[in-house]
Amino acid sequence: MATLRKTFSALTFSTICSVSLSTLIAPESVQAATLTKLTFDELPTQPVDDLSFKGVTFDFKVDGIDSTAATYNVVRTWDLSEIAGRPPGSLLYNLDLSPPVLATDAPGILTLDFTMPTAELMFDVASLVNYSPFPPMPTFTIELFNEALSSISIQQVLLDEDIIGIFPSPIRAAVLGKTFAYSGTSVKRAVIDFSNTGSVGFDNLTYQAATQTTPVPEPASVLGLLTFGALGATKVMKRKQINSAS
């Protein structure tokens, strides 16, 4: 019986220490948010409709129907060779400051669904504008939704910043753009209506995305757990010895 008690006490000590050590060796992973920026050169050229990448899912619709007219990883250019009397393709102008971009080829609605609601959202939009006969400045509308998909903000954004150098005369055109920036209530979905802008370049999408981190216990925590295990095992063995003596 004494041998059995000693064996049981040793097993108890081993179990307690194993639990403590397993807690140290395999701590639980926790989720943290970090700012992520998409510059649209990360993937091969492809339609963005229903594309999911780095915590965001894209949807693009034209007249309410899913469309392939929005494309990831596109270098937008304007060929002015013919106007300048040069061979085709010899006079190309970039239509974006930092190509490639997400390019839309038709007026439509771009929806962004975030896996993790983001309290920060920023992106650039650029559009080619013809000043003859002086049409109104292009605009887009953005509506933001919270985690319950309730609308929390709707805003009309005017593309009024000249972001590309002047095109050669007599062409009265320029690329106008805007940087949209938001900080506030966490956003689960953003709906961007490009119906009034024509073809646009969408770039530098910045938002919060989830990352997995594994916390490392502090030395004091390690010592505390080992001490707790040793004390617990000692008390068990002493109790067993007292019971055997009686």
Q: Kindly report, residue by residue over 166-189, the tens digit of the pLDDT.
A: 566 666 677 888 999 999 999 999
Q: Output the pLDDT for position 125.
A: 95
Q: Are residues 229 and 114 in the same domain?
A: no
Q: Could you tell me the two tokens for 61?
A: 């619709």
Average pLDDT of 67-88?
Answer: 89
pLDDT at 246 over 60: no
Pick from 208, 202, 43: which is nearest to 123 by CA?
Answer: 202
Q: Are residues 71 and 127 in the same domain?
A: yes
CA 59 to chain centre: 15
Number of folded domains that form the chain: 2
pLDDT at 231 over 60: no
Q: Are residues 43 and 110 in the same domain?
A: yes
Q: What percent of the chain has pLDDT over 90?
A: 48
Q: Are residues 118 and 197 in the same domain?
A: yes
Q: Are residues 45 and 156 in the same domain?
A: yes
Q: Which domain holds residue 231?
A: 2-27+217-245
Q: Contact 110/123 with Cβ under 8 angstroms? A: no
- For 15-25, the pLDDT digits (tens) are 444 444 444 45
Pick from 40, 108, 39, 41: which is nearest to 68 by CA?
Answer: 108
Q: Output the pLDDT for position 226.
A: 46
CATH of the domain at 63: 2.60.120
pTM of the model: 0.73
